[in-house]
Amino acid sequence: MRERQYYVQSLIEIDEQREIAYRYLSDFAANRTTWYRDPKKTNLAMLLKKDVVMFAARGVATAEEFVIEAFRACESSSEETVIGNTWQAVVAAISSDTLDTGDMMTVRDGALYVCELKSQTNTVNSSSFPQELRELKDKCAAQKRFKRASNQDVLPAFCILKEKKPIDEMRTYRTSERDQANKDIDGFCYRYLAGPAFWQWLTGFDSVEGLVEDPSRIDTGDVASARKECMERLLQEMNDALNQRFLPRSIAGVLRLKRMLHEPKQ
């Protein structure tokens, strides 16, 4: 009887955790709707900040194709930080002894872990990774000063949400002779957790998909229509700008438009 009560209680707890995740993801959809409908954030100038020549080199031949591809690129880069913050908030909300105070911290096996959370491995490159570790090291040092009286261990963890292979291991950053700029973090040891290992460590679920069992329960509101309207508005802005300057609706016309808009006024 006690085992059945524990089983029922566990199911209730799991459903409550999923409800929390659906709520945060619904908020994410609402924020994206606002972004799509804000002409100060989504406009022709935003698209033209992209490298037009590189789009041409990838086979983009018309102004319409450029708008579509550049919009997707801007959309992706604008989501990167928001996605990471959303998942960090979700994990902190459903994980015991875990706080999201801008930095995510959790108590495991008596130690306080300061966590750097990334949505996936490609959000960090070789040039930015040392700085990420430096910031993690500094955050741990700040917490150690704060926890000095309690003598609680403060440990760093670098965590990746989306990774198929479960990884839980200690890593040490090593610099080369040419890497003088990062000598200050040479020998920095941290726990590296990725994919299922990270999710099990903090939540008991094996993955994002294990937590979000039924994506249809996410209240997406009218984010799809807002995205479509945004795309249509950007296409119209591009056509109007080209027409006003008698430029062709080709990638060459887009490049000339960018140059004309960035030329200093006499």
Residues 107 and 185 in one domain: yes
Burial of 212 (0-12, 13-18, 19+ CB in 10 A): middle
Is residue 21 situated within a structural domain? yes
Q: What whole-number distance in Å separates Cα of residue 116 and Cα of residue 102?
A: 10
Of 173, 202, 231, the residue that ends a domain is 202
- Structural domain count of the chain: 2
Q: Which phi and psi (to 5°) does residue 168 adopt?
A: -145, 100
Q: What is the pLDDT of residue 122?
A: 66
Q: What is the pLDDT of residue 11?
A: 62
Is residue 115 situated within a structural domain? yes
Is residue 142 situated within a structural domain? yes
Q: Helix or strand or coil: residue 182?
A: helix
Residues 179 and 120 in one domain: yes
- Degrees (nearest 5) of the Cα angle 213, 218, 224? 125
Q: What is the pLDDT of residue 2?
A: 41
Q: Say how far residue 203 (Cα) sits from the centre of its chain.
A: 19
Is residue 108 situated within a structural domain? yes
> Could you tell me the sign of the dihedral formed by the alpha carbons of 252, 254, 258, 261, in that order?
positive
For the stretch 88-103, pLDDT in tens is 899 999 998 898 877 8
- Give me the amino acid identity at 59: G
Q: What is the pLDDT of residue 172?
A: 97
Question: Per-residue confidence at 123, pLDDT binned at 50, 70, 90?
Answer: low
Q: What whole-number distance in Å separates Cα of residue 74 and Cα of residue 97?
A: 36
Is residue 214 situated within a structural domain? no
Here the CATH number for the domain that contains residue 144 is 3.40.1560
Residues 106 and 62 in one domain: no
* Lookup result for tokens 């591809």: 69
Q: What is the pLDDT of residue 13?
A: 83
Q: What is the mean pLDDT of the chain?
A: 90
255's enclosing H/E stretch is helix 251-262
Is residue 149 situated within a structural domain? yes
Mean pLDDT value across residues 193-214: 91
Of 174, 202, 230, the residue that ends a domain is 202
For residue 266, pLDDT over 60 is answered with no
**Tokens found for residue 169:** 């291991």
For residue 170, pLDDT over 70 is answered with yes
Is residue 143 situated within a structural domain? yes
Residues 175 and 126 in one domain: yes
Q: Which tops the pLDDT comparison, 106 or 8?
A: 106
Is residue 89 situated within a structural domain? no
For residue 24, pLDDT over 80 is answered with yes
How would you label 49-71 residue by residue, b for 16+ Cβ within 10 Å and e otherwise? ebebeebbeeebeebebbbebbb
Q: What is the pLDDT of residue 10?
A: 67
Q: What whole-number distance in Å separates Cα of residue 31 and Cα of residue 196?
A: 28
Of 202, 229, 245, the residue that ends a domain is 202
For residue 29, pLDDT over 50 is answered with yes
> Could you tell me the sign of the dihedral formed by the alpha carbons of 213, 216, 221, 223, in that order?
positive
For residue 36, pLDDT over 60 is answered with yes
In 10 A of CB 95, how many CB atoms? 20
Runs of H (alpha helix) within 95-184 = 129-146
Domain boundaries, position 143 = 96-202
For residue 265, pLDDT over 70 is answered with no
